[in-house]
């Protein structure tokens, strides 16, 4: 394919899953994506859409249900996020949560007021009507998670009050005739002890949605879509050694077989033993054709003197694409075909990548991911991104369904730019060798301590432009610090630092300062996300 091809391919702005979705309407909530995850955990597909969506656009998407998210605003404030009133007349089962609950009440003729009685955190809710589908099968008293200063003072006509708290007379309501429901609390957070039951009751009992979205259905639907997009075209996939690219390539290989060639770009930013794992273990498990490109010199040359994190990511993204283009030319020459170019590029882009790169609904550009915000404008490939709408745990489930080996599927997340974005400062060959050695020690000790399954990932960061005074070998040293960043997370959208036992941290610190030249200090990052990101750059 010559010229500038479509860069979004089959993904575009809509979902590439062959299920009618539940639409999560985002009113600026920090938990909108979490709501979408909880819906998926109920085996129902979901998408996040902006509150500015029109009734016509909703109808065109043909959703099975709507969930109105929470948000930080007050419904009666000027400029507060609103909902097209016609949406609530479409006859689609709808659940309002917190702010969404109040928007629904206001638009359907109820009243929302600031009573001065605020509720934040764990709150006891009293269920007044357990016969309603929304709260059926739940105890009369339960702990829910509240976060509101306003409340529904009068429900709309035709709505029954389902629950209350000591401060809120209308904590939940329902109109089972119109299939409209609402709760003031946040059922999507784990602190609401029956929160998932509330969502499942709404989805399965109230809205009548079957629990049929699962890894097997995703694979079948994606295979059909990949075949429809690619046809008899030739496809190239970039393997990084991580689970995302591995699952994406395996899925495409299942769809188009020998039309796919996988390219593993050794950019010089790999961890110890990663090249062997890709070249031997992955190929043995999948049977894909693999070509390895040695591109370390080209990447290092392009990054000479660069210290800005965004520039690093964009340069790495650009060099990835250039490496693929060179590989394409070499493959055509090798095959002695008629010169038909490879038209499609597979990427393991996930939903969190899209959100953080500003591609999600109302999302800020937190940082460009090399496979989203770092792509060159003159990209010659049409992208095939079968995982773009999925979270990491969903990708792992699909990988297991495809039969990938557990060491590949269960591998902790590792960024495509590799160690290149774990060096704060200029990237050099010497600094990469230093960080690679420290990283190997950390991974070995975490595995030996049986902690691999209890942490999401543990980036090891080299502060290359920072030195501190130390004492090593009875003499003064002036070495670099190494930062350990162990985190616990479900999907990388939010994270907390992992509480690694002190004795494990002590072994890691001792080994690094003893075995890695020019490092005399090991520090621990105890910042959650937000405010910090998981990676430092």
Cβ burial of 284 (10 Å; 0-12, 13-18, 19+) is: exposed
186 as an active site residue: the answer is: yes
Which residue in this structure is represented by tokens 């501190």? 468
Q: For residue 530, is the peptide bond before it cis, meaning its omega torsion is within 30 degrees of 0?
A: yes
Contact 438, 397 (CB under 8 A): no
* C-alpha separations of 493 from 99, 283, 343, 355, 389 in Å: 21, 31, 32, 9, 14
Selecting among 98, 180, 389, 458, the annotated active-site residue is 98
Q: How many CB atoms lie within 10 A of CB 141?
A: 9
98 as an active site residue: the answer is: yes
Angle formed at CA 40 by CA 34 and CA 44, multiple of 5 degrees: 140
Residue 269 makes CB contacts below 8 A (sequence gap 6+) with 299, 316, 417, 418, 419, 420, 427, 432
Contact 367, 356 (CB under 8 A): yes
Selecting among 47, 119, 188, 385, the annotated active-site residue is 188
Report the candidate in 379, 354, 378 with the shortest Cα–Cα distance to residue 367. Answer: 354
Q: How many CB atoms lie within 10 A of CB 154?
A: 14
19 as an active site residue: the answer is: no
* C-alpha separations of 333 from 145, 238, 257, 330, 346 in Å: 62, 19, 21, 5, 21
Q: What is the dihedral of CA 368, 371, 376, 381, to 10 degrees?
A: -160
Selecting among 19, 148, 186, 370, the annotated active-site residue is 186
The set of catalytic residues is 98, 186, 188
């Amino acid at each position: 394919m010559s010229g500038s091809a479509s860069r979004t391919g089959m993904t575009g702005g809509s979902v590439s899953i062959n299920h009618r979705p539940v639409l999560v309407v985002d009113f600026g909530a920090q938990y909108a994506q979490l709501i979408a995850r909880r819906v998926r955990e109920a085996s129902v597909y979901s998408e996040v859409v902006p509150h500015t969506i029109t009734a016509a656009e909703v109808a065109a998407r043909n959703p099975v249900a709507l969930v109105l998210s929470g948000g930080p605003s007050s419904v009666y404030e000027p400029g507060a996020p609103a909902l097209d009133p016609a949406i609530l007349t479409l006859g689609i089962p709808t659940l309002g949560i917190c702010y969404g609950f109040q928007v629904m009440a206001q638009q359907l003729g109820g009243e929302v007021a600031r009573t001065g009685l605020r509720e934040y955190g764990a709150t006891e809710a009293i269920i007044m009507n357990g016969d309603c589908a929304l709260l059926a099968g739940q105890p009369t008293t339960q702990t829910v998670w509240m976060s509101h200063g306003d409340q529904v003072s009068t429900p709309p006509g035709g709505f029954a009050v389902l629950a209350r708290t000591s401060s809120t007379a209308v904590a939940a309501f329902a109109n089972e005739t119109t299939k409209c429901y609402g709760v003031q609390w946040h059922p999507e957070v784990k602190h609401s002890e029956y929160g998932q039951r509330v969502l499942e009751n709404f989805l399965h009992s109230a809205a009548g949605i079957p629990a049929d979205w699962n890894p097997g259905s995703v694979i079948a639907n994606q295979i059909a879509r990949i075949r429809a997009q690619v046809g008899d075209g030739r496809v190239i996939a970039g393997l990084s050694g991580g689970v995302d690219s591995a699952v994406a390539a395996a899925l495409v290989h299942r769809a188009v077989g020998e039309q796919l060639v996988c390219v593993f770009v050794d950019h010089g930013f790999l961890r110890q033993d990663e090249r062997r794992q890709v070249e031997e273990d992955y190929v043995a498990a999948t049977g894909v054709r693999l070509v390895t490109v040695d591109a370390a010199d080209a990447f290092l040359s392009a990054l000479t003197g660069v210290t800005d994190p965004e520039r690093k990511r964009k340069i790495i993204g650009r060099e990835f694409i250039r490496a693929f283009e060179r590989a394409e030319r070499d493959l055509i020459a090798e095959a002695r075909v008629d010169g038909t170019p490879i038209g499609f590029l597979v990427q393991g882009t996930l939903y969190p990548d899209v959100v953080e790169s500003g591609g999600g609904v109302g999302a800020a550009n937190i940082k460009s991911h090399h496979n989203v915000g770092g792509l060159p404008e003159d990209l010659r490939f049409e992208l095939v991104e079968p995982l773009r709408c999925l979270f990491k745990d969903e990708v792992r489930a699909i990988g297991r369904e495809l039969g990938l080996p557990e060491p590949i599927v269960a591998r902790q997340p590792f960024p495509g730019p590799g160690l290149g974005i774990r060096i704060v400062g200029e990237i050099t060959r010497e600094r990469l060798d230093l960080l690679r050695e420290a990283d190997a020690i950390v991974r070995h000790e975490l595995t030996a301590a049986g902690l691999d399954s209890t942490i999401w990932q543990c980036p090891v960061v080299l502060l290359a432009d920072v030195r501190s005074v130390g004492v090593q070998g009875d003499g003064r040293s002036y070495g670099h610090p190494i930062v350990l960043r162990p985190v616990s997370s479900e999907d990388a959208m939010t994270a907390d630092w992992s509480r690694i036992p002190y004795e494990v941290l002590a072994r890691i610190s001792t080994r690094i300062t003893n075995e890695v030249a020019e490092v005399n200090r090991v520090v621990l990052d105890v910042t959650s996300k937000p405010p910090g990101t998981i990676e430092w750059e």
